[in-house]
């Protein structure tokens, strides 16, 4: 599916709305985490240090592919490098969401992956979600570690930090973040009660992800 790029005005409004959704779903808190989406004239991204509850479209920053601010009165997110690296590595990406959700962050604190234990994580994310090697926030090292951990998938954990997810648009990126958090919660619950995790067969996982990408996701968008 070809990406449908938003206008600057529409992208800024969509990011503010997404910030409210992330807060309501407890995927972020305060001003932590960040959101971006491609526009026709650059990358719209949340500003550094502003809480989602007071964020307005005028607060959103537009940067170029090198991270230089084109439009906006604020400093762009400290994780701009991570967002830019994902757009560069995955041309099909149209939006990126970085979350600090509880269960994904718990596994990230243990430097553990999210195994492919439920069907929807392989359908949506593409398989087992890897935990990136630790790197300081805001650095190119973190951006490089995230891209390496993504390894063709739509999500990864950031060690001692949180998670980062991408999608063709903001709606899909949010879906990835929600499914990742659900899977992480299941894993933590299984570990806490001493249960054994049974990962899905690799061939089955690939088949389910392919079906989602080629058919089910299109049905969700009303294209099939």
Q: 0.85 cut: is pTM over it?
A: yes
pLDDT digits (tens, 9 = 90+) for 25-34: 999 987 789 9
Report DSSP state, residue 184. Answer: H
Catalytic residue among 2, 53, 79, 206: 79
d(C-alpha 68, C-alpha 75), whole Å: 10
Whole-number Cα distances in Å, 168 to 28, 93, 143: 21, 5, 19
d(C-alpha 5, C-alpha 24), whole Å: 26
pLDDT digits (tens, 9 = 90+) for 100-132: 999 999 999 999 999 999 999 999 988 899 999
Percentage with pLDDT > 90 across the chain: 76
**What b-and-e string marks burial along 22-50, b requiring 16 or more CB atoms within 10 Å of the CB?**
bbeeebbeebebbbbbbbeebbbbbbbeb
d(C-alpha 191, C-alpha 62), whole Å: 42
pLDDT bucket at 134, cuts 50 / 70 / 90: very high
| Annotation says 133 is catalytic | no
CATH for 8-220? 3.40.225.10
d(C-alpha 82, C-alpha 192), whole Å: 32
Tell me what the mean pLDDT of segment 150-176 comes to. 96
Whether the per-residue pLDDT at 20 is higher than 60: the answer is yes
**Whose CA is closest to 129, among 91, 168, 190, 182?**
182
Element of type H or E holding 143? helix 140-150
Q: Which of residues 162 and 51 earns the better pLDDT score?
A: 162
Distance between first and last Cα of the chain? 12
Tell me what the mean pLDDT of segment 19-41 comes to. 93
Note the pLDDT of residue 224. 76
Note the pLDDT of residue 46. 97
Domain-by-domain residue ranges, the chain?
8-220
Q: From the centroid of its chain, how far is CA 48? A: 17
């Amino acid at each position: 599916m070809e990406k449908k790029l938003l206008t600057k005005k529409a992208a800024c409004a969509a990011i503010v709305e997404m910030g409210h959704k992330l807060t309501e779903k407890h995927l972020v808190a305060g001003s932590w985490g960040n959101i971006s989406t491609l526009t026709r004239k650059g990358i719209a991204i949340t500003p550094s240090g502003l809480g989602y509850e007071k964020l307005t479209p005028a607060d959103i920053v537009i940067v170029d592919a090198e991270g230089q601010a084109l439009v906006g009165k604020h400093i762009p997110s400290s994780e701009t490098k991570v967002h830019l690296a994902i757009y560069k590595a995955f041309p099909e990406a149209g939006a990126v969401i970085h979350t600090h959700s509880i269960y994904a962050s718990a596994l990230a604190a243990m430097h553990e992956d999210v195994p492919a234990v439920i069907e929807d994580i392989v359908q949506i994310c593409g398989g087992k979600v890897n935990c990136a090697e630790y790197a300081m926030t805001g650095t190119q090292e973190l951006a490089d570690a995230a891209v390496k951990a993504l390894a063709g998938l739509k999500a990864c954990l950031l060690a001692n930090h949180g998670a980062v997810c991408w999608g063709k648009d903001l709606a899909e990126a949010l879906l990835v973040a929600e499914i990742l958090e659900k899977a992480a919660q299941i894993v933590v619950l299984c570990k806490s009660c001493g249960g054994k995790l049974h990962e899905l067969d690799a061939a089955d996982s690939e088949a389910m992800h392919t079906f989602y990408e080629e058919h089910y996701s299109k049905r969700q968008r009303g294209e099939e």
